[in-house]
Amino acid sequence: MYSVYLMLCKDGSIYTGIAVDVERRFLQHKSGKGGHYTKAKGAKKILYVEVCGTRSAALKREAEIKRLSRKEKLFLAGVDARKLP
């Protein structure tokens, strides 16, 4: 089962990705083996996880979320922007 996740990076940016095992993927990001973006920006914490079921559904939802503004992503995650770096 695939999930879409939002992850806060150390520089305050928000990374959107998909994974079967979000915790395992987060640990990969933290160790610098998760991808170019998070290797450069650093992984801080998972903000949001949405279970999508199929890979196709997760990819479509990821694309939708990536089109959102930072403010909209934080609202989706239920995070108060004033409490982030």
In tens digits, the chain (85 residues) has pLDDT values of: 999 999 999 999 999 999 999 999 999 999 988 889 999 999 999 999 999 989 999 999 999 999 999 999 999 999 988 877 6
**Rounded CA gap, 61 and 28, in Å?**
22
pLDDT score at 41: 93
DSSP per-residue string spanning 35-82:
-HHHHHH-EEEEEEEEEEESHHHHHHHHHHHHTS-HHHHHHHHT--GG
Decide: residue 29, CB within 10 A, 0-12 exposed, 13-18 middle, 19+ buried: buried
2-83 sits in which CATH class? Answer: alpha beta
pTM: 0.93
Q: What is the DSSP letter of 29?
A: H
pLDDT score at 2: 97
